[in-house]
Amino acid sequence: MNKNILSGLAIAALTVSSVTAYAKNNKELYNPNVAPLTIVNTISDVHGSVAGFIDATGQLNGDMYNPANTHIIYPISGDVYATVTDDDTGETQGAYEQRGSIDATVMFSTSFFGLLSNAWGDLPATLDWTMTNDMTDQTNPWTGAAFSEFVMVLDGTTFTFEEGLTGRAFTHLGPVENPMETGKMALRMAGCAGLRANGEGKYAGKVGTLCLNGTFNFEPNFNGHGVSNCSIAIHDPLI
């Protein structure tokens, strides 16, 4: 095979490679969302622990053996990261940049303690939970620390609840990881809430919704580590 033929084949191969790369990098972007809607995808990485209990009369106490307890008070805090996804599949790959922080006071039903038995099949199919803003005038009965309302800071904007979070834990899906191997109870959880932004930062003045979808790992002492894949859809209010 002479040099001219070899040169021609090399040029052809290079051309095909260049065209393929050009086609991949110039896909037509499809976005059916209405123009005023801003979608922000984040990963929240938080830690939390038990900080008291609410009994049937609505009173806060620090006695975990109180038979009248109905809910567990569980403050969480952590960091918020920008989500990186695969261009082709949309699967989450992780994150590079921290974009903010989150603080909240979670309220679990005492049924969540049933996770410690590893008899997940005996628990209700789902367990309700929420993030409450009703504890800010009270303090942790053991440490005296104040309870925080929901606050998410993202690119200089502070988001608070416009409508409280409604959440469920999906015990009937079983643990995400084998508790006999990890020593933790990895529970699938999800929830949604209405948000309102303050007047500062990138998303100043916007309103919308936050929906989280993730896993919370409870240790035997019920300290926990949660990772939530959050989608925030916001817009400028017209009313």
Instruction: Round to the nearest angstrom and report the end-to-end CA distance of the chain.
Output: 75
State residue 117's pLDDT score.
84
Question: CB atoms < 10 A from the CB of 80, how many?
Answer: 23
Average pLDDT of the residues of the chain: 90
Percent of the chain with pLDDT over 70: 90
Q: What is the pLDDT of residues 83-96, one digit of tens each?
A: 999 989 999 999 99
pTM: 0.86
Q: Is pLDDT of 15 > 60? A: no
DSSP track, 62-102? --TT-TTEEEEEEEEEEEEEEEEE-TTT--EEEEEEEEEEE
Residue 24 binned pLDDT confidence (cut-offs 50, 70, 90):
low
Burial, 12: exposed, middle or buried (Cβ in 10 Å; 0-12, 13-18, 19+)? exposed
**For position 27, what pLDDT does the model report?**
79
pLDDT tens for each residue of 51-79: 999 999 999 999 999 999 999 999 999 99
CA distance 50 to 222: 7
Structure tokens at 148: 């925080």
183-201, pLDDT tens digit by residue?
A: 999 999 999 999 999 999 9
